[in-house]
Structure 1
Amino acid sequence: MLGGVRPPIASLVVLLLTVAALTVIGLDGIHTAGVPQAVLNGEQQIAADTALSMRSAIDAEASAVRRTADAYPATSASTPTTTLKALTAARKAALGSALLDQRNGKLLAAGGKTVPLTGVDVARTASGPEAIPPRLVTSGGTRQLLYFAKVTLPAQQDDPDQDQYQAPSRTDRQLLLVVSEALPALTAYGEGRTAEVLDASGKALATAVSGTASGTAAHSGLSAAAARAANGSRSGTDASGTLLGTTTGSRRTVAGWAQVASATGSGATDDLGLVVLTSRAAPATTPTADYSRFALETAGTLAMVALLLGLAQYFSVQRPLLRLYLSAGRLARGVTGGGSTAAAELSRPVPVHGFGELARIGRALDSLRGQLLGESGPQQFPARRGPGYRALAVVGVVVVACWAVPMIFLLNRADAATAVPAPVLADQQARTEIATQRIRQSLDQSYTDLSEAAASLSGRSRAAQTQVLRQSLADHKQYRSLYLLNRSGGITLRVGDTPLRTLVHVPGGGGITTVNTSGRIPAIAAYAQVRSGKGQAPAAGVVLFGEIDVKALNSILPRPKLGSVWVTDGDEKVLAASVGYRAFQSLPDSGLTRLARATQGAPGTAGTATSAVHNTSSGPSVDAAAPLAQSGPTARLGWHVVTAEPAAALQIPAVQAEQRTMLAGILGLAVSAACLGWLYVVVIRPLRAVAVLVERLAGGDRRTVLHPVNHDEIGSVTRSLELVRQVLAERDRAARSGHAAGPSRPPRANTHQR
């Protein structure tokens, strides 16, 4: 089905015209007017990242409340009042707290501000799942979050809170802890950006502004629009989107919204109905480049090349080959027929068409015709010949390459200094800062969890300490190993995997550090001091270390359209990454290293985030870096977060034009090479083989059998030549035996013509 001379030539023309049409469609669809799509996408991702940070903070607080309740060492002497005080002593963010009886909702103890319990069915809430999700309530005109946890107190013979008309209870008391807190702190990143947390009705619950902003999104009606869009999306997902606000002068408000909900299964924030809305005024660009004219010119040029190549192939290959096919068939009919018809077929000279192999075959056929008529004998042909059809195919590829190579390497090149709009670069920096906050939250939480475990070890026996560490390892999945060090740096107690530490040191205080400087896996660890009990001898283990599983840290780094993310130490060596890496390796590009170093301010300062566009081997890259922490347990480390997103992955007009121009050139070159290679395989190479055989046959070689390979025009010519060979071979045998030579009809099986 793919044989013959027509399909490759027709395919060449059709496919090149298709590439020309795709060039027009692809380049004409790039618009530079208004706000670039990359800016809209960036704002959407910033809203999604902010929503993720808020969701993580709410989930972490809900888990901490439950863990505190589960770990409370209740005794028969515990009362609701003492229990509530112990459970909330460490909750600095708590506005108020309450301890309720699960059976009837009776308030047993309270602390801080009054907890708004209106509308809370305590019995139904407590009978629900073990992990009760938080709720959003209103108190004094402000919205608060209620966190729940179940608490069990041992039975008491005399229950002071029990109704006087009931008999004394000897069963465990099931209580419900309720803690009210404000929404997690909201931070806006990027100069001029406003961030808001909205409820389901679109009311702003919290607002944060970075730098100088034109006002909240509510002024332009974006808050209500974002709430409607979020309510219209499927619940229980982290849906997000973009909105366009009003235009002021040359700037237009761009907003992104995202639900504070879990994307994987049910989460603690799914029923809150919270939406994060971020907005900023972005420059509305004017048309700076019109690619439609370029697209028409390049597509027209390719269409002309396609038609010229098609005509050249038709007149130089297809038509001469078809005429040769007819001439060979006529010659075969002359040697297999009889009477006047055969004589007439042989008397007509074989015309020589084309050049190269077709011309050689035509001349050899005419020589064979003369030999069949007895007008001449075998004829030798010169070994040196002119260019053949292989050169024609090469010239065709070169002609298309003259169009394709500039498209691939020269035309519509994106300038790294001007191709990436300033808002896109600013968004990459803002997203890097948000990623830094998310990583810092994770490390700070790891340190807080370890500090709580260290505090519970004080004054306990070795067996009790082992049990505490095992429970902590089970509760906190980010740890791979927990161990106690004595004053000389030796491990006195360990649970979990074998420690990766190679640095033997006993630091003071607490925080985050690394405990190795080489190996396949970097060992990041939280550490805290274990205090001796009052009036007791110093503990055998003085520092508790918790090595953080680097996989847990790596898992929070990837974000859509943020690119590659690395966490580096003070020497710009990689500690964690969203992509494959080797421990303590350098950043993959020197520009990233310089960018990380640029975040370090003067000695004693916290440093600032920075961003830049770097030229790489694969094109412009939008890069940013930020210091990991300005305060907290990681502030003294000098670590950084570095991100790099190829500009090709962003919808930037100049980069899109470069990509589509290159794609058109690659497609054109590939199509021409494929079709002309196809022509070479099915036509030109068989023609070269037939030309050699027919010249040998005309030169007197009657022994070489000509086998047709394909069922196409060249196969038919080969079969005709085999008939001629058989007749000439029979005549030569007859001449050698002294008999008169004459035409001899070959078997019918060999006379079939296409």
Structure 2
Amino acid sequence: MSLLVIAALVVVALGRVDAGQGQGTELEAERQIAADTAQSERLAIDTEATSLGRAAAAYTPTTPSTPAATLKVLTSGRKAVLGSALFDPLTGRPLAADGLPVSLTGADVVAMASGQGAIRPRLMTSGNGCCLLYFAKVPSPAQSADTDQDQNTSPDPSRRPWLLVLSEHLPRLTAYGDGRTADLLDAAGGVLVTTAKGTASAAADSGLPVAAAHAAKAQGHRSDASGSMLGATEGGRRTVAGWARVASATGPGHTDDLGLLVLTSRAVPATTASVDYSGFGLTAAGALAGIALVLWLVLWFCVQRPLLGLVVSARRMARGAVGRGADAWDEPARPVPVSGFGEPARIGRAMESLRQQLTGESGPPGPAARRGPGCRALALVAVVLVAGWAIPMIFLLNRVDTATSVPASVVADQQARTEIAANRVWQVLDQSHTALGELAGGLSGRSPAAQTEVLRRALADHKQFRSMYMLDGSGDITLRVGARPLRSSIHVPGGSGIDTVDTSGRIPVITVYAQVPGTNGGEPAAGSVLLGEFDVKSLNSLLSRPQLGRVWLTDADDKVLAATVGHRAFPALPEPGLTRLIRSGRGTPGTATSAVHASFAGLSVDAAAPLPQNGPTVGLPWHVVTADGAAARRLPAAQAEHRTALAGILGIAAGVVCLGWLHAVVIRPLRTVALLGERLAEGDRRTVLYPVNHDEVGSLTRSLELIRQALVEGDRGGGSSLADTPSSSRSRPENVPQR
């Protein structure tokens, strides 16, 4: 019965493999790419807003500081600034301005300057296009003179902080994957920025941006909403598009009020080749049903039917042996039919010998006949039959072809998402490097106590660091905040950058470092270096993205620095193919690579992308490597392989369990009864037969025990048999009617 159930499951499972759902897979991949791109855009805006706020908060004006001088100090190191202005918190009028005009039409400058907390960026549209306005509160000279009062709650309005406003271009939007177009939209669906990689293959569809904006509005207040759409069809190709909000997924963020959307699109074939697996499912199910029928017939004719006949004969002999029933004296005269196979046949021969001993038809019992194959051989044959069906299902049938079963678009999407992940890692490293450089510059000329306080506040703001500390010229730590440093090297780095300090410990030690300027005209103090050690957990969480699979960050030796799966320090990648994939792209620096690898676990879509070679990662040969099982992609061929193998595993498991149960409940008790019956027929009268089972085997055992007792009584009476027993002693009971 269980095999028939599995046969039905095979028909249902393989019949539901939809070969036409490849477009659904492409839509989901496009949605994830849009979400990844939106996250990178959000990270860029958050980084700029946070950096400006920290720089403004760290600024210490002096009494003669003018608004123009303050504005110059705060904007001199920012290359992307289009225009800047410093506003009076009392009147809302600009105190100083530089670059393109900054318009705050409709904004209450006084309320923004006097409000609590940070001010979120705003989108500004002007004749020069769209730009983002970043805000920060800058301590005024009057406020700095009175440090005992809070800058936002001071009762003296003249001591309120100035409002700094910077206008910058929208973050650079990158399209990943050849033939993909990426657009940055406003809340109404207007295109603010557009870019494409390679030859944009998406069919022109002017309705997609507006449709994406409507879809985002329908999601309500979900800040991290995303989705996918189908666009126009042109030349046998149809546009698939994904959209995602540029907003925080974990809580209130700088980008939540901007209403920005990322829309990505590309063209895919409008029709896909269809493969029908229902015919294979019916064939496989029919073969399993046939095996189940053959096994049932074999067990019925070789075991069950002969066993039922033996039970009837044993009961008849037992009634004759104890003299019960109206025709008890006629029962032993009937020969026992010897039929079946193995143990039933052995029991039948033993019972026939016992019958002859009861009736005196034979002399002293002789040795039992030589034993042939038993019911265990039948069980073994049954296992072989089921395995003959299951093993090809697991290892041979419906196996996907590495070269053709995974569409090229799926591999390209994995590579694109890996490139986005590598860019996201670069963004965090670049942000950390910039922040540490600004922090090192602010430590110059301060007392150790003041430096410690500055680093303590900075460590609380920069969650990616586990500790910050300063080194002197000999490599000794002169100041530290946070956890105990893991570094074991005493090398004092020069300049600034990112490095892996220790490559032999239990935890990778990745540091960002920058020189602390001295007080003599800004020259670095001898051996004074500020370092920040990365928390590996923050890097692990940075790599994790939905439906990207397993992700690793590797160093120059292809050893793992961080991963989304558990790992020890500096292990090799789990698959040799991943290492080969990294090395295959090193011939062309900055190039991502991808491939499909086959293993015992199935097909895996893998990709490797180097970190962008600019900023602090120049010369840093790190890679982001991803591997996602093809089964997780819900590709028709992969689903068919997975379900076929699962059916084979279920089939062989059910066969083993059922035949194991048959061996424990039927075959083994039958072997025991056959052995005891042969011993009884050979003359063993002392072994008592205890019925253990409450089934046919138990009934057979009880009858044989009654026969044994009758033979013992006959032996005590001088070896007389039922044939020699007087008829008066075998008379009918009084309550039995005459025939």
Does TM, normalized by the shorter one, top 0.5?
yes
Unaligned runs of 5+ in 1: 1-13, 160-166, 746-754
Deviation at 1:611, TM superposition (A): 1.5
| Candidates 24, 28, 36, aligned match of 2:15 | 28
Q: 1:720-731, aligned counterparts within 5 Å?
A: 720-731=703-714
| Candidates 582, 598, 620, aligned match of 1:615 | 598
1:381 touches 1:699 (CA, 8 Å); kept in 2? Answer: yes
Residue in structure 1 matched with residue 192 of structure 2 by the alignment: 205
Equivalent AA in structure 1 for residue 403 of structure 2: A
Residue in structure 1 matched with residue 58 of structure 2 by the alignment: 71
**2:456 aligned with 1:470:** yes
Shift in alpha-carbon separation, 1:237–1:682, aligned structure 2, 3 A = farther
Residue in structure 2 matched with residue 586 of structure 1 by the alignment: 572
Deviation at 1:699, TM superposition (A): 2.2
Instruction: Identify which range, 512-521 or 443-452, moves more after superposition.
Output: 512-521
CA distance in 2, matches of 1:433, 1:598: 16
**2:314 aligned with 1:328:** yes
Deviation at 1:672, TM superposition (A): 1.4
Deviation at 1:97, TM superposition (A): 4.5
CA distance in 2, matches of 1:684, 1:365: 18
Residue in structure 2 matched with residue 749 of structure 1 by the alignment: none
Secondary structure of 1:630 counterpart? coil
Secondary structure of 2:502 counterpart? coil
CA distance in 2, matches of 1:157, 1:312: 98
Shift in alpha-carbon separation, 1:681–1:225, aligned structure 2, 3 A = farther
CA distance in 2, matches of 1:20, 1:259: 47
Q: 1:418-437, aligned counterparts within 5 Å?
A: 418-437=404-423
**2:537 aligned with 1:548:** no
| Candidates 446, 465, 470, aligned match of 1:479 | 465
Q: 1:341-740, aligned counterparts within 5 Å?
A: 341-376=327-362, 379-382=365-368, 384-535=370-521, 539-601=525-587, 606-735=589-718
**2:253 aligned with 1:270:** no
Instruction: Identify which range, 317-326 or 357-366, moves more after superposition.
Output: 317-326
Deviation at 1:74, TM superposition (A): 5.1
Instruction: Identify which range, 192-201 or 58-67, moves more after superposition.
Output: 58-67
CA distance in 1, matches of 2:603, 2:276: 21
CA distance in 1, matches of 2:659, 2:23: 41
Cα distance per residue 1:478-521 (max 9 Å; x no partner): 12222223334443333333333334333332111121231112
CA distance in 2, matches of 1:176, 1:110: 12
**2:171 aligned with 1:188:** no
**2:290 aligned with 1:304:** yes
Secondary structure of 2:387 counterpart? helix
Shift in alpha-carbon separation, 1:205–1:318, aligned structure 2, 3 A = farther
CA distance in 1, matches of 2:377, 2:553: 56
RMSD value over aligned CA atoms? Answer: 3.4
Unaligned runs of 5+ in 2: 147-153, 731-739
Instruction: Identify which range, 589-598 or 169-178, moves more after superposition.
Output: 169-178
1:43 touches 1:256 (CA, 8 Å); kept in 2? Answer: yes
Shift in alpha-carbon separation, 1:125–1:700, aligned structure 2, 3 A = farther
Deviation at 1:178, TM superposition (A): 4.4
2:202 touches 2:265 (CA, 8 Å); kept in 1? Answer: no
Residue in structure 1 matched with residue 734 of structure 2 by the alignment: none
Residue in structure 2 matched with residue 62 of structure 1 by the alignment: 49
Residue in structure 1 matched with residue 276 of structure 2 by the alignment: 290
Shift in alpha-carbon separation, 1:572–1:323, aligned structure 2, 3 A = same
Instruction: Identify which range, 117-126 or 192-201, moves more after superposition.
Output: 117-126
Secondary structure of 1:542 counterpart? strand
Instruction: Identify which range, 687-696 or 22-31, moves more after superposition.
Output: 22-31
Shift in alpha-carbon separation, 1:340–1:711, aligned structure 2, 3 A = closer
Equivalent AA in structure 2 for residue 28 of structure 1: G
Deviation at 1:87, TM superposition (A): 4.2
1:105 touches 1:122 (CA, 8 Å); kept in 2? Answer: yes
Shift in alpha-carbon separation, 1:691–1:574, aligned structure 2, 3 A = same
Equivalent AA in structure 2 for residue 690 of structure 1: V
Shift in alpha-carbon separation, 1:70–1:360, aligned structure 2, 3 A = same
Equivalent AA in structure 1 for residue 457 of structure 2: Q
Deviation at 1:25, TM superposition (A): 2.5
Cα distance per residue 1:192-238 (max 9 Å; x no partner): 1001122333222221211110458643x222332233222352353
CA distance in 1, matches of 2:124, 2:674: 92
Cα distance per residue 1:245-303 (max 9 Å; x no partner): 23333422222222333333444433433322211112345426432322222222222
Instruction: Identify which range, 364-373 or 475-484, moves more after superposition.
Output: 364-373
| Candidates 113, 117, 130, aligned match of 2:117 | 130
Secondary structure of 1:42 counterpart? helix
Residue in structure 2 matched with residue 9 of structure 1 by the alignment: none
Instruction: Identify which range, 143-152 or 429-438, moves more after superposition.
Output: 143-152
CA distance in 2, matches of 1:121, 1:743: 126
CA distance in 1, matches of 2:454, 2:533: 16
**2:27 aligned with 1:40:** yes
Residue in structure 2 matched with residue 173 of structure 1 by the alignment: 160
Deviation at 1:346, TM superposition (A): 3.4
Cα distance per residue 1:684-720 (max 9 Å; x no partner): 1111111111222222222222222222221222222
CA distance in 2, matches of 1:645, 1:538: 47
CA distance in 2, matches of 1:104, 1:52: 38
User: Given the two structures, how large is their TM-score scaled by the length of structure 1?
Assistant: 0.87
Cα distance per residue 1:124-154 (max 9 Å; x no partner): 7678763444444544484444444455557
Deviation at 1:123, TM superposition (A): 6.9
**2:228 aligned with 1:245:** no
Instruction: Identify which range, 340-349 or 521-530, moves more after superposition.
Output: 340-349
Equivalent AA in structure 2 for residue 708 of structure 1: P
1:230 touches 1:240 (CA, 8 Å); kept in 2? Answer: yes
Secondary structure of 2:402 counterpart? coil
Instruction: Identify which range, 556-565 or 234-243, moves more after superposition.
Output: 234-243
Residue in structure 1 matched with residue 303 of structure 2 by the alignment: 317
2:676 touches 2:689 (CA, 8 Å); kept in 1? Answer: yes
Secondary structure of 2:617 counterpart? coil
CA distance in 2, matches of 1:344, 1:79: 130
1:35 touches 1:283 (CA, 8 Å); kept in 2? Answer: no
CA distance in 2, matches of 1:528, 1:174: 30
CA distance in 1, matches of 2:286, 2:265: 44
2:231 touches 2:238 (CA, 8 Å); kept in 1? Answer: yes
Secondary structure of 1:437 counterpart? helix
Deviation at 1:360, TM superposition (A): 1.4
1:731 touches 1:743 (CA, 8 Å); kept in 2? Answer: no
2:49 touches 2:121 (CA, 8 Å); kept in 1? Answer: yes
Shift in alpha-carbon separation, 1:339–1:383, aligned structure 2, 3 A = closer
Cα distance per residue 1:367-409 (max 9 Å; x no partner): 3333334444663442621111111111111112222222222
Deviation at 1:423, TM superposition (A): 0.9
Q: 1:98-109, aligned counterparts within 5 Å?
A: none
Equivalent AA in structure 2 for residue 631 of structure 1: N
Secondary structure of 2:694 counterpart? coil
Equivalent AA in structure 1 for residue 31 of structure 2: Q
Shift in alpha-carbon separation, 1:18–1:140, aligned structure 2, 3 A = farther
Equivalent AA in structure 2 for residue 22 of structure 1: L
**2:211 aligned with 1:225:** yes
Equivalent AA in structure 1 for residue 631 of structure 2: A
Secondary structure of 1:572 counterpart? coil
1:100 touches 1:175 (CA, 8 Å); kept in 2? Answer: yes
